[in-house]
Structure 1
Amino acid sequence: MSSRELVVLGTGSQTPTRRRNHNGYLLRWDGMGLLFDPGEGTQRQMIMAGVAATDVNRILISHFHGDHCLGVPGVIQRISLDRVPHPVYAHFPAAGAEYFARLRHASSYHETATVIAQPVEAPGVIAEGPFGRIEARPLDHQVPAFGYRLIEPDGRRMLPERLRERGVAGPRVGALQREGAVRAGGRTVTLQEVSAPRRGQRFAFVMDTRLCDEVFALAEDADLLVIESTFLDEDARLARDFGHLTAGEAGRVARECGVRRLVLTHFSQRYSDPARFGEQAARHFSGEIVVAEDLIRVAVPPRRRGRDH
């Protein structure tokens, strides 16, 4: 199992189908689990996908339309039922705080876990930690909505041949990474001379929105972009009217933002052939495209080799 992967729990839009549940996406990131937009049925989809309540560290809701949030009651109650030992943080548009409160206590249950609500008031950083930072940016939808991105800190890539040349091996490599310099072979060896810059990885999550500047800001340089493509290009007017993207627009975003792996999702029930979404996105984007299906796993692309970013 990849330590950085997306578990797709649902890919439907307003109406679920026989093959597509309402939304739900769990990002596994080095032992941390970010659950995005848990729509109706997410708790069962988690079981089907082998995702435990203890895997969830944060819940991030883009907006309070039902297909993006009606799974919150079951997920939160399951967190208490399974006595999840760590706090679970919930991020959502502050304008929908009343909806979150209702969903969190939609029915009676014995609350044993710690769920900490952290409403998103404005664009910017909403969480920081060893993983880096999580940012939120407003989207252009029918109700207040935010997109999210995770940015890992830049680091350094160790160069084995330079370590050998300077006689640094074993525990000294770890000490060099922690302290920035070690003594070896009668001299001081610095981290800079045996390593190269390494850009941190980036993940972006863009749900219901018309095309706007913030979509591009979220997707910039994303290694993995999860983005709605509710409509096909021939229904672009419907997309604009209802505050959504088309498959072609999603492909354009990926191309202009330098995305490495594009995941299309949130498909309207009006379409019977999901391959068409990938075909239309590919008219604009020549990189890797995944047309999401329920319960698939999509790895975050491995770091580029031989490059300093």
Structure 2
Amino acid sequence: MSPRELIVLGTASQVPTRYRNQNGYLLCWDDQGLLFDPGEGTQRQFLLAGVAASAITRICLTHFHGDHCLGVPGIVQRLSLDGVAHRVVAHYPASGREFFARLRHAAVFHEVADLREEPVAGDGTVASGPFGCLEARRLDHPVESVGYRLVEPDGRRMLPERLTWFGIGGPRVGQLQRAGHLEVGGRTVTLAEVSAPRPRQRFAFVMDTRLCEAAFALAEGVDMLVIESTFLGPDADLAATYGHLTAAQAARVATECGVRRLVLTHFSQRYDDPVRFHDEAAEVFDGDIVVATDLARIPVPARR
């Protein structure tokens, strides 16, 4: 099973800088690759990160400001150029259907990839499967913007000592997991007797927004929260005006929601010292804080 990690492709906001590409985040979640908000230059960042377009299984856009979507044309065309064989699903606010259509067909190319559009029409589940449940909620931004939350299914952890006690091993373990029970030596052994509940892992992605109920709902109890912190405290008025968060406000969400790892990103080009974001957040949140940098690989915390 592949590691669950976030590959950071870009961390700038409105414009890129010498050291920060525009947005782009690939969440590797077992056999899934969820590409969030590919901004300009994302295709090249994939190359620098050593990741192939075939890693993408879903494209999740929060909204249609350029720094969150202008990389879509290159990514869509790359899927066809590389002959990606599996279906890729695109989620985005339903109000932006026209914008996505323009991005998808921004230039002439031979489209052979299987790209399916599944717009987000309201709060709730947008996809589910063995990977878990992908949810979306509308945020508070001048244009329609949604955040995403991924929660894996309930699971169980096998207890080796209990399996040994009942004399169960090899392929029979899989049989027990699939059926929920197994006949052993004239008695029925249930899955509950040889396993324990496995804590679900949760991930949330919250971009352009003011503080709002939806941001807290998405972040509730997650192992990793990737959240915008465009501004610092002294510019809180600007943040409110343009529909953004400060580092302290992002940290407040993490604190009140019991987040384990807080990943700050989407930094305004007006700031040149990333340490300031960490220091401001640390005054509010005493957990694990990561100030995202381009091409970083940030693991989802191991289960509790």
Q: Which bin holds the TM-score, normalised by the shorter protein?
A: over 0.9
1:229 aligns with 229
Partner letter of residue 198 of structure 1?
R
Partner letter of residue 190 of structure 1?
T
1:129 aligns with 129
**Structure 2: 5+ residue runs without aligned partners?**
none
User: Any idea what the Cα deviations from partners look like across 1:199-241, whole Å, max 9, x if unmatched?
Assistant: 2211100000000000000001111110000001111111100
2:139 aligns with 139
1:264 aligns with 264
Runs of 4+ in 1 over 6 A off after TM superposition: none
Offset of residue 157 of structure 1: 1.2
1:88-103 to structure 2, matched below 5 A, reads 88-103=88-103
1:207 aligns with 207
Go from structure 1 to structure 2 and tell me whether the alpha carbon gap of 1:113 and 1:2 turns closer, same or farther (over 3 Å shift).
Answer: closer
Partner letter of residue 206 of structure 1?
V
Offset of residue 161 of structure 1: 1.7
Offset of residue 186 of structure 1: 3.2
1:1-309 to structure 2, matched below 5 A, reads 3-304=3-304
User: What's the TM-score once normalised by structure 2's chain length?
Assistant: 0.98
Equivalenced residues, count:
304
**Matches of 2:209 and 2:184 in 1, distance apart?**
56
Offset of residue 255 of structure 1: 1.1
User: What's the TM-score once normalised by structure 1's chain length?
Assistant: 0.96
Partner letter of residue 39 of structure 1?
G
Offset of residue 170 of structure 1: 1.8
Contact kept? 1:167, 1:185, Cα under 8 Å: no
**Matches of 1:229 and 1:146 in 2, distance apart?**
16
Contact kept? 2:2, 2:31, Cα under 8 Å: no
**Matches of 2:25 and 2:36 in 1, distance apart?**
5
**Matches of 1:68 and 1:202 in 2, distance apart?**
23
For residue 47 of structure 2, give the secondary structure of its aligned residue in structure 1.
Answer: helix
**Matches of 2:103 and 2:114 in 1, distance apart?**
16
- Equivalent pairs: percent with the same residue? 68
**Matches of 2:77 and 2:175 in 1, distance apart?**
44
For residue 189 of structure 1, give the secondary structure of its aligned residue in structure 2.
Answer: strand
User: Any idea what the Cα deviations from partners look like across 1:128-167, whole Å, max 9, x if unmatched?
Assistant: 1111110000000010000001110111111122222222
